[in-house]
């Protein structure tokens, strides 16, 4: 599933990069006053920047933003340092006048995001929803999670690895993943970003969807997807989360309730007037009928039995 998502990166095409280079050039030209290069400024190239910023040059070299990668993917329009920092001739000639170069910490979150997105939004499904994500809406931007110069992960230029990166702002999630029954996110068996797209999605809660447009869970729990000859209706009509907590729970199988029968009887009680069959009368006579899934084992659906027996 990782591989599938990774494939989206390659859709960052030559054409989109070339276009972005042009766009960025124009943008920075108009950013004459204040924090930006002078309108007359031109590109000088990374080698010139390097003469005064050896350290920053090194921290970009070898990353996907190094000059060679940008040139390879973007052709002549990519300008290494200056694709992000804007044309730097005036800055260089002035011996380092900081008002003549784009400094990211001085940009608003939205302005910084815009510079990154000029390359990363076009052609990449992963990022097309960023501007309407709850992250962007709450002033969480690219640089809240990424750092081109000071990354701390070997991949994705993250300022901190998951899940610590996310826990920094989402402490309730940290508590969830410490519960006795949980997805092993802290053990790196799966990651937050397997279920969520931090760059936003079309759906609710920044949740990824499955290839089949179903919910994200069946990406891994394929056998729950069906279709089955005998579907258990709520598995199809409600979400998996109607019975399970997605992060973690104090209940086995990450169920929302402590005993299975309480879960089932929410819908299958004799008094419920919903058209859903109640439990047959012989069910409530003995203790053994409390463990519903002892008998109704194929609770997510079955190809063999309408009552979900084995
Ligand atoms: C002649 C030397 C020189 C050259 C060439 C030069 N700079 Fe600078 N740059 C400086 C100096 C000096 C500062 C101010 C440093 C400070 O205040 O700590 C500076 C500051 C900056 C800053 C702001 C740093 C901060 O801490 O906010 C950025 C970004 C920057 N330069 C990028 C570039 C880029 C990109 C290039 C190439 C287009 C470049 N510089 C070329 C000397 C140079
Ligand atoms: C992908 C966009 C991008 C590229 C390419 C890039 N920078 Fe930066 N630069 C940033 C951002 C963002 C910051 C703010 C610090 C951070 O988040 O890493 C920054 C910060 C800086 C600073 C301030 C000191 C610091 O480390 O925070 C200097 C100086 C600088 N860059 C110079 C350069 C030079 C020289 C190059 C080319 C070798 C370059 N940058 C390439 C985005 C970029
Ligand atoms: C809330 C944190 C967060 C924010 C905000 C964020 N990212 Fe990411 N980004 C991540 C994480 C985590 C990954 C690794 C995802 C994975 O494992 O698939 C990632 C991966 C990426 C990748 C590589 C993977 C891919 O499929 O494209 C790019 C490029 C990227 N981010 C760019 C951006 C840009 C540009 C922005 C701002 C518009 C941004 N990110 C905002 C957390 C974030
Ligand atoms: C000139 C276009 C351009 C700009 C502007 C740009 N990037 Fe990138 N970025 C790229 C390219 C090209 C790659 C490599 C993609 C690939 O390997 O397919 C990349 C890769 C990445 C990755 C993935 C790294 C990995 O290990 O896979 C992240 C994260 C990222 N960029 C974040 C940012 C952020 C944050 C900004 C804004 C500060 C930014 N980019 C600005 C072109 C750009
Ligand atoms: C800099 C702080 C920050 C970081 C880092 C961060 N988030 Fe967020 N996140 C927020 C804020 C603020 C919101 C919007 C308010 C809210 O719903 O909590 C949000 C919203 C979300 C939502 C949507 C919640 C909803 O109710 O719609 C999800 C899911 C989420 N973040 C997941 C992640 C993941 C996964 C990571 C790590 C890759 C991450 N966040 C990193 C601050 C952050
Ligand atoms: C197994 C998939 C999965 C993983 C892994 C996962 N989440 Fe979630 N997360 C969900 C689902 C599903 C929801 C929606 C729950 C609902 O609507 O009842 C959700 C909801 C959220 C919310 C919204 C608030 C809430 O509790 O409803 C935040 C914030 C969040 N997750 C953050 C994270 C962070 C941070 C991580 C990693 C530490 C993470 N998630 C890992 C599936 C996952
Ligand atoms: C990235 C793959 C992945 C995704 C997506 C995923 N899971 Fe899981 N899930 C696992 C793995 C792996 C385990 C086994 C965990 C272990 O052994 O610690 C597991 C375990 C479980 C269990 C507990 C099984 C047991 O025997 O106790 C339940 C229940 C569960 N997942 C439900 C869900 C739900 C609901 C979703 C969607 C919100 C979901 N999963 C999404 C990988 C995933
Ligand atoms: C109607 C309630 C309900 C719904 C909806 C539901 N489950 Fe379950 N699920 C259960 C119950 C009850 C168990 C415990 C079965 C047992 O104890 O044998 C369970 C167990 C599991 C297990 C662990 C045991 C196993 O069979 O592998 C996984 C994984 C799981 N569910 C995933 C999912 C996924 C994924 C979805 C959504 C496609 C989903 N569940 C929807 C009730 C439900
Ligand atoms: C969210 C409501 C809901 C929950 C919770 C739920 N079910 Fe169901 N169940 C249904 C619906 C709706 C049907 C389909 C009824 C029909 O076919 O008309 C159904 C069908 C069944 C059937 C087949 C009945 C038949 O006559 O074909 C069995 C057996 C069953 N459920 C057992 C369980 C068990 C055991 C649990 C607890 C693990 C459970 N259900 C939890 C809603 C629920
Ligand atoms: C000891 C095994 C066993 C246990 C435990 C058990 N059932 Fe059943 N269940 C059956 C049998 C046998 C039938 C009848 C199948 C038939 O009519 O052929 C049945 C039928 C059902 C039906 C279908 C009723 C109808 O009219 O279509 C529902 C709903 C149901 N059970 C729910 C539950 C619930 C909820 C629990 C837990 C409180 C539970 N069962 C526990 C064996 C069991």
- Specify the residue with its C-alpha closest to ligand 1, atom 43: 96
Token pair of 253 as six digits: 């199988």
| Last residue in a domain, options 64, 99, 120 | 120
310 pLDDT more than 60: yes
Closest-lying ligand to the alpha carbon of 278? 10
- Specify the residue with its C-alpha closest to ligand 4, atom 20: 64
58 pLDDT more than 80: yes
pLDDT of residue 12: 40
Mean pLDDT of 244-272: 90
Q: Are residues 64 and 105 in the same domain?
A: yes
Question: Which pLDDT band, with edges at 50, 70 and 90, does 210 fall under?
Answer: confident
Q: Are residues 92 and 185 in the same domain?
A: no
Q: Are residues 116 and 6 in the same domain?
A: yes
- Cβ of 207 below 6 Å from ligand 5: no
Backbone angles phi, psi at 103, to 5 degrees: -110, 115
Q: Are residues 57 and 104 in the same domain?
A: yes
Q: Are residues 32 and 77 in the same domain?
A: yes
Residue 310 lies in a domain: no
DSSP annotation of 59: H
Q: How far apart are the C-alpha atoms of 261 and 288, rounded to whole Å?
A: 11
For the chain, give the longest Cα–Cα distance. 90
Query: At a CB cut-off of 8 Å and minimum separation 6, what does 166 contact?
Result: 173, 192, 198
Residue 125 lies in a domain: no
Q: How many residues does the chain have?
A: 310
Residue 25 lies in a domain: yes
Residue 39 lies in a domain: yes
| Last residue in a domain, options 58, 88, 120 | 120
Which domain range does residue 79 map to?
Answer: 2-120
Element (H, E) at 182: strand 181-182
2 pLDDT more than 60: no
Number of separate domains in the chain: 3
pLDDT of residue 270: 67
- Cβ of 185 below 6 Å from ligand 6: yes
pLDDT in tens, 18-31: 334 443 443 333 33
Residue 178 lies in a domain: yes
- Specify the residue with its C-alpha closest to ligand 9, atom 34: 264
Does residue 148 contact residue 112 with C-beta atoms inside 8 Å?
no
Q: How far apart are the C-alpha atoms of 146 and 151, rounded to whole Å?
A: 7
Closest-lying ligand to the alpha carbon of 11? 4
Query: For the chain, what is the mean pLDDT?
Result: 84
Q: Are residues 105 and 150 in the same domain?
A: no
Where is mean pLDDT largest: 135-144, 207-216, 272-281?
A: 135-144
Select from 104, 106, 108, 102 the least CA-distant residue to 87: 102
Question: Which pLDDT band, with edges at 50, 70 and 90, does 271 fall under?
Answer: low
- Specify the residue with its C-alpha closest to ligand 5, atom 5: 166
Q: Are residues 32 and 112 in the same domain?
A: yes
| Last residue in a domain, options 76, 94, 120 | 120
Token pair of 8 as six digits: 């989206």
Q: Are residues 138 and 187 in the same domain?
A: yes
pLDDT in tens, 76-90: 556 789 989 999 999
């Amino acid at each position: 599933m990782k591989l599938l998502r990774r494939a989206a990166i390659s859709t960052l095409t030559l054409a989109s990069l070339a276009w972005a280079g042009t766009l960025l050039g124009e943008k920075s030209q108009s950013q004459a006053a204040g924090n930006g290069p002078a309108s007359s400024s031109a590109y000088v190239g990374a080698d010139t920047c390097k003469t005064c910023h050896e350290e920053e040059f090194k921290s970009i070299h070898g990353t996907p933003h190094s000059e060679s990668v940008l040139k390879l993917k973007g052709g002549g329009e990519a300008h290494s340092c200056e694709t992000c920092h804007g044309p730097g001739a005036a800055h260089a000639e002035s011996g380092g006048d900081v008002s003549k170069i784009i400094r990211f910490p001085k940009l608003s979150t939205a302005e910084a995001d815009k510079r990154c997105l000029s390359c990363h939004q076009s052609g990449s499904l992963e990022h097309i929803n960023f501007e309407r994500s709850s992250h962007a809406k709450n002033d969480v931007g690219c640089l809240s999670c990424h750092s081109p110069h000071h990354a701390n992960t070997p991949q994705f230029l993250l300022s901190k690895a998951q899940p610590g990166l996310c826990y920094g702002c989402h402490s309730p999630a940290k508590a969830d993943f410490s519960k006795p029954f949980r997805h092993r996110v802290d053990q790196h068996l799966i990651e937050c970003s397997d279920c969520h797209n931090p760059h936003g999605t079309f759906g609710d809660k920044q949740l990824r969807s499955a290839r089949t447009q179903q919910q994200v869970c069946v990406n891994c729990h394929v056998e729950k997807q069906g279709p089955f000859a005998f579907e258990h209706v709520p598995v199809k009509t409600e979400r998996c989360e109607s019975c399970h907590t997605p992060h973690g729970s104090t209940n086995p199988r990450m169920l929302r309730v402590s005993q299975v029968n309480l879960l089932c009887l929410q819908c299958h009680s004799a008094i419920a007037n919903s058209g859903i069959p109640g439990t047959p009368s012989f069910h409530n006579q003995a203790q053994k009928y409390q463990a519903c899934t002892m008998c109704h084992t194929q609770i997510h659906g079955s190809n063999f039995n309408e009552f979900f027996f084995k």
